[in-house]
Structure formats: C-alpha cells, structure tokens
Amino acid sequence: MTDDLLGRHRSVLPDWLALYYEEPIEITHGEGRHVWDSEGNRYLDFFGGILTTMTAHALPEVTKAVGEQAGRILHSSTLYLNRPMVELAERIAQLSGIPDARVFFTTSGTEANDTALLLATAHRRSNAILAMRNSYHGRSFSAVGVTGNRGWSPTSLSPLQTLYVHGGVRTRGPYAALDDYDFVAACVEDLKDLLGHTRPPAALIAEPIQGVGGFTSPPDGLYAAFREVLHERGILWISDEVQTGWGRTGEHFWGWQAHGRSGPPDILTFAKGIGNGMSVGGVVARSEIMNCLDAHSISTFGGTQVTMAAGLANLTYLLEHDLQGNARRVGGMLIERLRAAAAQVPAVREVRGRGLMIGIELTRPGTDEAYPEGVSAVLEEARANGLLIGKGGGHDTSALRIAPPLSLNVAEAEEGAAILERALRSIR
C-alpha cells in the first residue's frame, strides 16, 4: 500500500516536495512521543512534524478542545467577533513581553513572517531588510527573499532589497576563531559598516536559533548588541520565533530572551508548536506598528475557532506542566549524552543546541567539508532502529536536527540517544 501511495504522490505532487528516506513512510497515528506507520512499525519521534507537535501526539486536552469546538462551529472568519481568538491573543500578548502588544493570527510561520515584513516596510517606508546568513524564514515570495540559505532559495527575485549580516553561525565564517566577546564586537562593527553604505533598512529579521540552518546560533547577547545599533537609527527588530518559541530552548520562553538586555523585539513571529499540529501562526507587535496599515488586510483562516481552541488548550497544558522546565532538564541531559557519544565519532564536528532543540553537524572525517551522505546514512539507520529525526544546515545539509515533543521523559531521551549513538557509529 505504501508503494502505491508513493507512486500516486509522485504523479500528482511537485518534484520539489521532498520526502525523507529511500523508502518513504506514511505515518498513520501517534500517541505521546511515539508514532506508527502504515505497516505497523512504531517510532520514537524526535522531530515532531518539524517542531510542530510541541507537547505530545494525540494530547487528550487538545483533541478534546478541538472536538468540542468542531461540534459548535469550525470557522466564521475575522469579520465576526471570535472569543477563542481574543482569549488566545490576550495570553500571547501578555507572554510576549512587548508593551501595548497587538496580535494577528495567520495559518503558518511563512505567513507570519510575510506579515511582519509587510508591517515593518510599511511602518518604516523602506523595502530594505537586514537578514542573517544561513537563515530560513518561509516559502512565500517575500520570505524567500530574506532567506540566507541557498538550499531553500529557489529564486533571487524579490520585492525586497536584502542585506545579509554576519553572526548567525558561531563556528564558521570569518569570525569563527574569535572568542565570544570579540565575535560579537566584530559582527557589530560589520553591521555598522554595512549601514554606512546603504539607505536605512526597515528592519532586521533574525531567528535566535537558526532552524533549517541546522540549529546554529550566535553567542548570547549578539542581538541585544545589534538592537542598540538598530535602535539609534530607528530600524526595527523582528524576532522569528517560529521554531524557538514556547519554551523549547529550556532556558527561556522565547529565544530573544537570551539577547534581552535591550528589551523585547519590536515584532515577534510565531507558529509551529503553539497549535500542536493545527495550523496556527501569528505576529505580535507594538500597537503603533501593528496599526500602521492604511488599507484592509485579513487572513481568512488565521484565528479560526477550531485552531484557536487547540492553541488555548495546548498553551495551558504547556504552562501548567512546566514543559519549558522539562525541556531544560531532559534536553540538558540529552545534549550531554550525545556529546559524550559523538566524541568517539570522527565525523561529528559539533553537537550544539539548547533544551530540546539539538543539532549534530557532520563533516567528512579529517576535513571541515559538509557530509550530506553521512547525514542521510544516520537518518536511515536511526529510522531502521525506531527513531525519527530531521536534517538541515546551510552547508549542503550538514546537520542532524533533534527536536522531540517537550514532554519527552528521561527514559525516552536515553532510548533515543542510544539509537543515535549506534547510528552515528555506523557511518565511515
């Protein structure tokens, strides 16, 4: 049946709609941190639908909220008052840290970032945007235009003038050999120099931890230092929290808080985990930025009642069960376990990350060259032994990506680490 489905997939869907594995699998159901495929195989899920299943598969509190709301009304659009949307917006505005915040809901992180770019360029009356090298912000025309990752940039055409800044990758590039203090100082000087050669941009958009880029990040405080330079010039800061938000990093609820000495960003975008599988994204911004548009703008399916009910139930569960704390505790243990295992594998260049957002970068043994074949081999071996993980990286798919649901327990972390260790040891 899977072979037949694969043939049907290939006959009607785009060639660029990638599938994992030499023999792709159909996931039919899940529970907790596990999923099953159509052939009955059970897997420990360490990727959560690309960081989207944030709390757990088939979480009873979320499925109950979705079912109850679906029994009343699924959708009415934003033309009518929507109680679940208002309630979720109130909670997110308070959690964002942004003063006098307004929230606009979308259906995805792409649409959220697209909206943030619209707001920033309209507010500042500039189409120039600063973005980070190795970044990823979505697949819309404008989001691709600010994505600094060649593997996810299918066109150079863009409605924006994008200027790429150093700093998103700590261990590669011209400043890699510097210590953290000098690294930040060099990136700030580079930013100042860049701004001296261009008309004032509208905003800097940056992921606190680069997701598709392989879970890379700068030293803490880089974006705070950038913010000081930007603020002097009236340039906005957009923090793309699509992958880092909601406590995934363990140490902070939002990724920007690792860079928070200058306060919250002007605009914050979110998606993925908040819906626990439902299509929820959004933007938070100060009122004068959010309200700057002088024409109508809506999202037909953004904030629909059933997705808002899921988001409310999921956020409540996350906070009441301290899943941020669990990500810090279990994630910290998992990172150390993987670092110990990787020390015996010549192909592992670096194990990095925070909380339950962990990257393992591979290079060809004895070199600093990307090793995409090794990444694929580990992915296949892990799957064969009952573990699903992801991949990414800005240097030719050079990293494994590990991001389980935030309710992962110690026993499951140990099980996954053992499978990963064996998979890493299998590559040459």
pLDDT band at 259 (very low <50, low <70, confident <90, very high): very high
First-to-last alpha carbon distance for the chain, in angstroms, is 34
Order across the sheet with 399-402: list the strands: 348-354, 357-362, 399-402, 390-392
> One fold for both 2-58+322-425 and 64-320?
no
Residue 390 confidence (pLDDT): 97
- Decide if pLDDT at 378 tops 90: yes
As a whole number of Å, the CA-based R_g of the chain is 21
The residues facing 399 across adjacent strands are: 361, 392
Q: CATH code for 2-58+322-425?
A: 3.90.1150.10
pLDDT band at 173 (very low <50, low <70, confident <90, very high): very high
Question: Cα(304)–Cα(319) distance, rounded to whole angstroms?
Answer: 23
Question: Cα(81)–Cα(79) distance, rounded to whole angstroms?
Answer: 7
* Topology, domain 64-320: Aspartate Aminotransferase; domain 2 (3.40.640)
Mean per-residue pLDDT over the chain, rounded? 96
pLDDT tens per residue across span 91-141: 999 999 999 999 999 999 999 999 999 999 999 999 999 999 999 999 999
pLDDT tens per residue across span 7-16: 999 999 999 9
- Dihedral (CA of 148, 258, 338, 409) sign: negative
Q: How far is CA 125 from the centre of its chain?
A: 28
Q: 266, 279, 349: which is closest to 307 by C-alpha?
A: 279
Question: Cα(64)–Cα(42) distance, rounded to whole angstroms?
Answer: 24
What residues does each domain of the chain span?
Answer: 2-58+322-425, 64-320
Residue 277 confidence (pLDDT): 95
Q: Kindly state the tokens that stand for 118.
A: 């619209």
Region 307-333: what's the mean pLDDT? 98
- Decide if pLDDT at 218 tops 70: yes
Q: Kindly state the tokens that stand for 24.
A: 């792709």
Cβ neighbours of 329 (radius 10 Å): 15
